[in-house]
Amino acid sequence: MLPEAYEDRDSGPTTGTAALPSVGGMQTIVRPAVAVTDLTKVYGTGDTAVRALDGVSVTFAAGGFTAIMGPSGSGKSTLMHCAAGLDTVTSGTVQLFDGRGEATDLTGLGDTALTKLRRTRIGFVFQQFNLLPTLTAAQNITLPLELAGARPDPEWYATVVDVLGLRDRLGHRPNQLSGGQQQRVACARALLARPDVVFADEPTGNLDSKTGQEVLDFLRRSVAELGQTVVMVTHDPTAAAYADRVVLLADGRLVDEIARPTADSVLDRLKRLGA
Amino acid sequence: MIRTTLAGLRTHLRRLLATAIAVVLGVGFVAGTLIFTATARAGFFDTFARTAKNVDVSVLAGGQRLPLADLDRVRALAGVAAADGRLADSLALLDREGKPVTNFSRAGYAVSTDGDPLLRPFDVVGRVPAGDGEALLDKETAGHQHLVVGDTITVLDRAGARHPLTLVGLLDFGVSKTYSGWSVVGLPAARIAALTGATGYDEIVVRAAAGTDPGKLAGSVRPAVAKGAKVSTGDKRREQLANDATSVATQFSIILLVFGAVSLVVAVFVIYNTFAILLAQRVRETALLRCVGATRGQVFGATVLESAVVGLGGGFLGVLAGVGIAYGLFALLNGVLNAGVPAHSIVLGPAPVLAGLTLGVVVTVLAALLPAVRATRTAPLAALRDLAPLTETGRVRRIVRLAVAVLFVAAGAAVTVAGHDSADSQAGTFLVVAGGIVAFLGLLVAAPLFVGRLTAAVGVPVRWIAGTPARVAVANARRNPGRTAATTATLMIAIGLMCLCAVVLASIKATARDQLSGHYPVDYAVTGLSYEDGKRADLPPEFARSLRARPEFAGVAEVRVLDVRIDGRPARIGAVDAAALGGLITLDMTTGDAGALGTGTVIIPPGTPQPSITVTAGGRATSLRVVGTAKTTIPGSGQLAALVSWDQLTALGAGPADAVVMAKAASGVAPTASRDAIDAVARPFPLAQVNSVADLSSDLDKAVNGLIGLFAGLLGTAVVIALFGVANTLSLSVVERTRESATLRAVGLTRAQLRGTLLVEAVLMGLVGAVVGIAYGMIYGPLVVATAFRAIDPRVVVPWAWLAGLMALAALASCLAAVLPARKAASASIVAALADV
Ligand SMILES: Nc1ncnc2c1ncn2[C@@H]1O[C@H](COP(=O)(O)OP(=O)(O)OP(=O)(O)O)[C@@H](O)[C@H]1O
Ligand SMILES: [Mg+2]
C-alpha cells in the first residue's frame, strides 16, 4: 500500500498556491517539528475501552504543511490533541522540537509546564473559531503572548494583521465579525508567537468554500513565506490539496501517506480506503 | 408538558440547588421567627397565668398605690373568700462583701408575702416570715449567694441603713421571668413599707366565696376601692396579661420579621437570577420545544411549575430549618440581650407551616415570573442558532432604566431631606428611613447601568496584581451587566444594611461615651444605687467630704440635681459645687461665659436660643436669665436640661444630698491605688456605686459591640444567601463558558490561572457589592443618627476599621463562594470541554 503513495510525488497543488515555493518536499532532508512515536491512546477501560490510536508513529517536518485525513472516528482529532499536549497519551512519546532542533518530550510534562509551553510554542485553530467573546480581535490575537508575559514583536504583529486583512477589524468583538473573519483572527492568534507548530482541526469546517479558501491560502502562505509548520485535520480533499503532504488514518492506525497531494489523488486514495 | 418539566427539573436539580437553599434560608428565617413568637407567647402565657392563679377579681393600682384601707374594705365585702394586697418595690440586698446585689446596675426587689396562700403568685418553700426579723429569698439568688434557710441576710433601707434578717424560706416563681436576674426578698407588706417608704398596694387580688359570680363581685369591689384603680375579673386579668405577653413577644418578632423580609428580598434576587440564567442557557431547549409545537402558554406554565416545585420544596425545608432558627433566637435573645423570654417547648402550629410553604412558593414563583415571560418570547428559530449573541441592551431601554432610577433616587432624596429637616425627630427618622429605602430601590434599578464601569474601576488594582487572568475576569464580570447587577444587588442590600447599622451603633457609642465622661477629666463617677422606677439613692455629703480628705485624689466635684418643671415641662436641672466649677469641671461653652453663672442665671444646652426660662420647683416659679449655652452632660447623670449655680439650686429647694460625686486621681497614683482608696471611702456608704470612667466606657463598648454583633448575626442570613447567589451565578457561568475556558486553557491559561480568573471575578462582584453598600451606609447612617438623636447633639462616627473588615469579609467570602465553581471549571478536561456545544 505504501509504495503507491510515492507515485503522486510530482503532482503539485492544483489551486492558487502554485506560485509558492515548496519547502516540504520528500527529497529534502528536513528538520522535524513534531515527532510522534508508537502513540497509543485508549479511552475508557474494560469492555467499553476504545483504542482511538493504536501505535501511530509520524513525524511532521518543520516548515511543512501536513494534512491528516481519514474516516470519521479514525482518530484524527485524538492524534492532534495528543501531539499538541492537550490530552494525555496511554503510551508512546510526543517530541516537540525547537528552532535549534532540541527536543522536549511532551508526554513527560506536567499540566502547568504543558500549558506554559502551549502559550508560545504551539498554536491552535479550531473548527468553531473559539475566540473569547469578551475580548476584541486584537486582544484575542495577543492573548497567548500576554499570558506568557511577553510583548508581541510589533513588526511581526503588523505583518500578521495585514496579511490576514484584519487591520480595520482589530477593535471589534467576535460577535461583530463574520465567520471567515473570526477564523482569520484565530489564525493570527495561532501565529503571533511564531510557534514551533500550528495545529488546525477542520479549520474550514464551519466556513463556506470561498472563505474557507481564504483561510487555507493564508495557512499555505504562512508555511511558504513565513516558514511556519502547520498540521491540519480535514475531511475535504480540496483543503488537503493545499498541504504538501497528507497522512491517512483508519481505525487509529497510520495507513497511507500522499506527498504533493491533489484533490483528485486524495479523493482517490480515500475511496480506496473505503471511506 | 408537565412530564417534560419534571424531567427537566430532575436533570437541572443541581443547578437549582442554590435557589432552593436561598428559599430555605429566607423562609427559615421567617418561619423561625413565627415559631419563636408562638413559643415565646406560650411561655409568657404560662408565666402570667401563674401570676393570676386562683384570682377571681383583681384590682390594679392606677397612678398611685392603693391605700391600705382599701384592702380592709374589700375583705369586708360579701362573697369575698379571701383578699390580699400585693406590694413590690426595689430593695437592695447586700452580698457577702457588703455590696448591693445588682443586675444591670439596678437593685433587686422586695415582694409582700402575707395573706392567703392560694392567692400568692409564687410558691413558698419553708414558711412565710412571721416577724420583722424574718425574710424569704428567691431560689436563684439564694443559690448563687450560697444562702440556706437559717442564714442571715442584710437589706438596705432607702437611707442606706443595714437591716439583718433571718432566712426562713425560699420563694419559687416557677417559670415566671418577671424578676428574672434580680434578687427578690419576701417580706410582710408592712415591713416593705417601713424599709422602702412604699405605702399601699400595687394590686389587690380577691378569691370569691363558693357560688359567687366573679363578674358580680367585681361590680361590688369597684366602689370599695380608690378612684382610678382598675377592677377586673380574674379571667379578664389573665387575658390581659396574655395580651401584654403577646405584645412583648410581638415587639421581638416585628424586628425579627424585618430582618426576615430582608433575607427574603435577597433570596428573590438569587432566585430571579438563577431562573434568568437557566432559561438563557436553555434557549435552545425551549426553542426546540416551540419547534415541535409547545405554545407560549405551555412554555410559561412549565417555568412557573418548575419554580413552584422548587419553592414548595424549599419552603418545606425552610419550615424545618425554622424550628432550629427558633431555638437559636431563644439563645440569642436570652443570652446576648438578656431578654428573659420564658422557656417553653417549641410550639409548631399550622400558621408558621402554612406561612412558610406559601412564602416559599409565592416568593419563588414571583421571582421566576419575569424570566418565564422572557422565555415565552423565545422564537422557535433560536434552536437553529449556534451561539447566543452577547447581550447588548438597547439604547431606549437603558434610557428608560436611567429615568426610572433617577426618579426613584430623586424622590427618595426629597423624602430624606424632608425627614432630616423636620422638627419631630421620630417622624423625621421614619421619613429618612423611608426615603432611604426608595433611594436604594433607585440604586438597584440603576445597578445594571453602572455595575460594569464600577467593576472595571475596582478591577484596575486587581489587574495590576493578577495580570492577564484578571483582565479576563474583569471582562467576564462585565459581559452581562444585568446578571452581575442582580448578583451584586444581594450583597449591596446586605452590606448596605450592615454598614448602616455599624455607623449608627458606632455613633451611638461615641455619643454615649461623650455623655459618660462629658469631656471632663475625671477618673471616677460615684452615684447612688438605682431603683426600679429610674430613681436613685442620694449620696450623703459626708461621702464627698471623706473623699476630699484622701491624698490619692487631686480633685473632687459634687453634682446635685433637682426635678423641676421648665416652662411647664418636667425636667431635671443640676449644679456643680462652686469649688469644682471652673477648676476640675470646666464647662465646654458654645456661647456665653461660664463665669456669669450665679443667682438668677442659667446655662442651657445649645439648640433653641432663649433669653430666659421659667423653672417651677416646689410650687414656686422662678425666672432665670440664660447667660450661655454649653453641653450639659455630666458623667453619671447624663444630660441635664439646665445648669444653675450651686446656691441657686439650693435656693430652688435641693436638699443636701449629692447625685454624683466625681473624682480625679492625683498624678502619680496608680489606678489600683486610687480604686482601693475610693472603695475604702465608700465602704460605710453601701448605697454608693463606684464606677470608674474606664470601666463604664469599656462596658459601653462591650454592649455596643454586642449589638453590632447581633445585627451582623441577623443580617448574616442575608449575606449567606447573597453568597450562595454569587456561587450560583458563577457555577452557572462556568457551565455556560465551558468551551471558552477550554480555549483559554488551550492557548496557555494554566489550571491555577483559570481558578484564579473565577476567584477574581467573584472578588470583583463581592467588592462591587461592598463598595456600593458601604457608600450607601455611609450616606444614610449619619443621616439616621443626626435625625434620630438630634435632641442630644450626637457625634457621627464612621467605624473605618469595621468597614474595612466588612470589605475584606465581602471579598473573602465571595472568594470562598467561588471555590467550588472554580474547581469544577479547572478540573474539566480541555479536549472534552472543547467538544462542548
Ligand atoms: N472522550 C472520549 N471517550 C471515549 N471515546 C472517545 C473519546 N473521544 C474520542 N473517542 C473515540 O475515539 C475514536 C477517535 O475519535 P476522534 O475524535 O479522534 O475521531 P476523528 O477522526 O477526529 O473523527 P471526526 O472526523 O468525526 O472528527 C472514536 O471512535 C471516538 O468514538
Ligand atoms: Mg475530529
Q: What ranges do the domains of chain B cover? A: 1-52+248-387, 53-244, 446-519+694-837, 538-686
Q: Where are the alpha helices (DSSP H) in B518-594?
A: 541-548
Cα B737 to Cα B726: distance, rounded to the nearest angstrom: 16
Nearest one of B760, B753, B736 to B455, comparing CA atoms: B760
Judged by CB atoms closer than 8 Å, whether chains meet at A133 and B740 is answered as: yes
Cα–Cα separations (whole angstroms), residue B741 to B690, B745, B760: 68, 6, 15
- Which residues touch B767 (CB under 8 Å, ≥6 apart)? B458, B807, B810, B811, B814
Question: Looking at the DSSP assignment, which residues form a beta bridge with residue B604?
Answer: B629
pLDDT given at position A21: 38
In degrees, rounded to 5, the angle at the alpha carbon of residue A80 between the alpha carbons of residues A77 and A84 is 140
Instruction: With beta carbons under 8 A apart, name residues in chain A contacting B469.
Output: 147
Q: Which residues sit with their C-beta closer than 6 Å to ligand 1?
A: A 43-44, 50, 52, 70, 72-78; B 832
Tell me, what amino acid is at B1?
A: M
pLDDT of B339: 63
User: Considering only alpha carbons, which residue of chain A is nearest residue B836?
Assistant: A128
- The set of residues, in sequence order, having a beta carbon less than 8 Å from that of B111 and lying 6+ positions away, is B86, B87, B88, B122, B171, B179, B184, B185, B186, B187, B192
Sort strands A230-233 and A197-201 into parallel, antiparallel or unpaired.
parallel
Residues of chain B with Cβ-Cβ distance to A189 below 8 Å are 747
- From the CA of B835, how many Å to the nearest CA of chain A? 9
Q: What is the pTM of this model?
A: 0.75
Cα(B382) to ligand 1 centroid in Å equals 29
What is the predicted pLDDT for the residue at A14? 37
Q: Count of H helices and E strands in chain A?
A: 9, 10
A86–B831 C-beta distance less than 8 A: yes
The CB density around residue B87, as the number of other CB atoms within 10 Å, is 28
CB atoms inside a 10 Å sphere around CB A92: 17
Q: How far is CA B485 from CA B273, B441, B606, B772, in A?
A: 10, 13, 46, 11
Position with higher pLDDT, A25 vs A250: A250
Query: A69: CA distance to ligand 1 center in Å?
Result: 14
Alpha-carbon gap: B832 to the closest alpha carbon of chain A (Å): 9
Helix (H) or strand (E) holding B782, with range, is helix B751-788
Contact of A110 with chain B, judged by CB distance below 8 Å, is answered with no
Residues A22, B828: Cα–Cα separation, whole Å: 41
Distance CA B504, CA B429 (A): 12
CA torsion B678-B679-B685-B687 (nearest 10°) is: 110
Q: Is A112 within 8 Å of chain B by CB? A: yes
The architecture of the domain spanning A64-84+108-272 is 3-Layer(aba) Sandwich (3.40)
What is the C-alpha separation between B174 and B31, in angstroms, rounded?
29
Q: What pLDDT is stored for residue A26 in this prediction? A: 43
C-alpha A192/C-alpha A163 separation (Å) is 12
Mutate to test the interface with A, among B747, B757, B764, B837 (most CBs of A within 10 A): B747
Cβ-based contacts of B472 with chain A (< 8 Å): 132, 134-135
What's the DSSP call for residue B88?
Answer: E
Does A175 contact B740 at a Cβ distance shorter than 8 Å?
Answer: no
* Best residue in B738, B743, B744, B757 for a mutation probing chain A (most A CBs within 10 Å): B743
Nearest residue (by CA) to ligand 1, atom 19, is A73
Chain B residues touching residue A120 (CB < 8 angstroms) = 748
Q: Looking at CA atoms only, how far is residue B731 from chain A in angstroms?
A: 18
Greatest alpha-carbon pair distance for chain A in Å reads 55
d(CA B40, CA B341): 6
User: B834: which chain A residues are within 8 Å (Cβ-Cβ)?
Assistant: 86, 126, 130
Q: What are the cell numbers at B557?
A: 466635684
Judged by its nearest atom, the ligand closest to the C-alpha of residue A79 is 1
Write out residues in chain B with pLDDT < 70, as ranges.
1-2, 6, 8-9, 11, 175-177, 245-246, 248-249, 336-340, 381-393, 515-519, 636, 836-837
Task: Indicate the residue of B468, B740, B747 with minimum beta-carbon distance to A124.
Answer: B747
Residue B769's alpha-carbon distances to A222, B259, B489, B724, B830, in angstroms, are 49, 19, 6, 14, 33
The answer to whether residues A218 and A184 touch, using CB atoms and an 8 Å cutoff, is: yes
| Other CB atoms within 10 Å distance of the CB of residue A133 | 17
Residue for grid cell 413558698: B124
Percent helix / strand / coil, chain B, rounded to 5: 60, 15, 25
CB B134 within 8 A of CB B70: no
- Average pLDDT score over residue span A242-262: 93
Q: What is the pLDDT, as a whole number, of residue B589? A: 81
Q: Are B362 and B311 in contact (CB under 8 A)?
A: yes
CA distance A258 to B273: 55
Give the span between the Cα atoms of B348 and B361, in whole angstroms: 20
Tell me whether residues B750 and A149 touch, CB distance under 8 A.
Answer: no
**What ranges do the domains of chain A cover?**
64-84+108-272
Q: Which of B136, B141, B132 is nearest to B110 (CA)?
A: B136
Q: Please judge whether A175 and B753 are an interchain contact, meaning their C-beta atoms are less than 8 angstroms apart.
A: no
If phi over 0 gives left and psi between -120 and 50 gives alpha, with beta otherwise, what is residue B481? Answer: alpha
What pLDDT shows up at residue B508?
85
